[in-house]
Amino acid sequence: MAASCLSGSSTLLLLVLLLSLLGPGRVLAGCGCGDTSRGGHAHGGGSENSHRGASFKYSREANEPEPTKKETQGREQMVLIPSGVFTMGTDEPGIPQDGESPARKVHLDSFYMDMYEVSNSEFEKFVKATGHVTEAETFGDSFVFEGLITEEVKSTIHQAVAAAPWWLPVKGADWRHPEGPDSNILNRMDHPILHVSWNDASAFCIWAGKRLPTEAEWEYACRGGLENRIFPWGNKLEPKGQHYANVWQGDFPTQNTGEDGYVQTSPVTAFPANGYGLYNMVGNAWEWTSDWWDTHHTADEVHNPKGPSTGNDRVKKGGSYMCHESYCYRYRCAARSQNTPDSSASNLGFRCVAPAP
Ligand SMILES: [Ca+2]
Ligand SMILES: [Ca+2]
């Protein structure tokens, strides 16, 4: 629940209100970035074309795809992440209540990981092959950042999440209609899939012969071979004044300058890859992992941890284009947040992993 964002009495009132609005089985969960929803998180907004700012030039250069040097036959667009030991979590948590600490040694076997967040185009192949209907489509709504919704759609909505009033439950919002019924993805087929629940993401990975990464695998991969760095590329958010991830510049939630080139999602191939050849591990879309959520960890050294055996929420990692340091400083490898497995929103996607040979 969004406990970190709410006081006790307002929390209770909000919960009652939401339960009545969402119906059984759809519970407001974590707050990770001003979040929402059946489980929610935050997003960033602006119009699709408003990314043509001064920094657009830089982004065009940064977005040039690098050679896919580590691609392996049969595992196209995946890279082999070598086995190793790394420091998971941090003893200097940016958001202590999220359970980012303590730092602990984790050993992992090697695995393949998708270079990119799963795109609309990839997800469409899955839907065409299987007839899969996402949970957002079944429920009939999903959470969308207010800044992205047209006035016409907004006029039909009469409630919001008190802890995060910029999140609105929009009828007809789903992966094909990210901002509601009057939006589409025709010009965004190479952007990350959004409005997919944990259950939808798992179904996709299984169909592809893959699975969701554990939180440990995701974080190890995020770090790109660097030890104890904040971001996948180092400790400075914008080395030499350049943008390495799609996050929020300006004042959240009212002004997104799009200085990094994007006020919404970017193509999954945008921005430089990390040391393992992985793109957009932080920023752009949040990414589901297979772990259940828990904020209590021991400092014990472990091998291939899979998280708690049960829980209410699933862990998501990496932050999104809606994250700003002032509000949701979660575009860090050690950062984490959560949603219920049936939640979906306009800033939450995923990528898959597969066993190494
Ligand atoms: Ca951005
Ligand atoms: Ca991401």
Ligand lying nearest the CA atom of residue 59 = 1
Is 42's pLDDT higher than 60? Answer: no
Q: Which of the ligands is closest to the CA of residue 222?
A: 2
Domains in the chain and their CATH numbers?
81-119+192-355 (3.90.1580.10)
CA of 13 to the centre of ligand 2 (A): 33
Band of residue 84 on the pLDDT scale cut at 50, 70, 90:
very high
Q: Say yes or no to pLDDT of 290 above 50.
A: yes
State the distance from the centre of ligand 2 to the C-alpha of 102, rounded, in angstroms. 23
Q: Which ligand is nearest to the CA of 316?
A: 2
Asked which of 30-34, 264-268, 313-317 is least confident by mean pLDDT, the reply is 30-34
Q: What number is the average pLDDT over the span 37-45?
A: 40
Average pLDDT over residues 242-271: 97
Return the ligand number nearest the Cα of 335.
2
What's the pLDDT at 324? 95
With beta carbons less than 8 A apart as the criterion, state whether 198 and 314 touch. Answer: yes
Least confident of 32-41, 50-59, 217-226, 346-355: 50-59
Q: Considering every ligand atom, which ligand is closest to the CA of 284?
A: 2
CA of residue 284 to ligand 2 center, whole Å: 5
Distance 247 CA to ligand 1 centre (A): 4
Q: What is the pLDDT of residue 167?
A: 92
Distance (Å) from CA 259 to ligand 1 centroid: 7
Please tell me the distance between residue 316's alpha carbon and the centre of ligand 2 in angstroms: 10
Task: Give 339 or 42, the one with higher predicted confidence.
Answer: 339
Looking at the CA of 245, name the nearest ligand: 1
pLDDT tens-digit series, residues 314-346? 999 999 999 999 989 999 999 999 999 999 999
Model confidence at 38: pLDDT above 80: no
106 CA to middle of ligand 1, Å? 32
Nearest ligand by distance to the CA of 265 = 1
CA 156 – ligand 1 centroid, Å: 28
Ligand nearest the Cα atom of residue 193: 2
> Which of 29-33, 221-225, 249-253 has the weakest average pLDDT?
29-33
Distance from the CA of 115 to the center of ligand 2, in angstroms? 11
> How far is residue 286's CA from residue 41's CA, in Å, rounded to a whole number?
8
Question: Ligand 2 mean position to 286 CA, how many Å?
Answer: 5
In the chain, the percentage of residues whose pLDDT exceeds 70 is: 79
- CA of residue 249 to ligand 1 center, whole Å: 6
Higher pLDDT, 38 or 141: 141
Q: Running DSSP on this structure, what letter comes out for residue 20? A: H
Residue 50 has pLDDT above 80, yes or no: no
Per-residue pLDDT tens digits for 132-153: 999 999 999 999 999 999 999 9
Ligand with the closest atom to the CA of 116: 2
The pLDDT tens digits for 225-248 are: 999 999 999 999 999 999 999 999
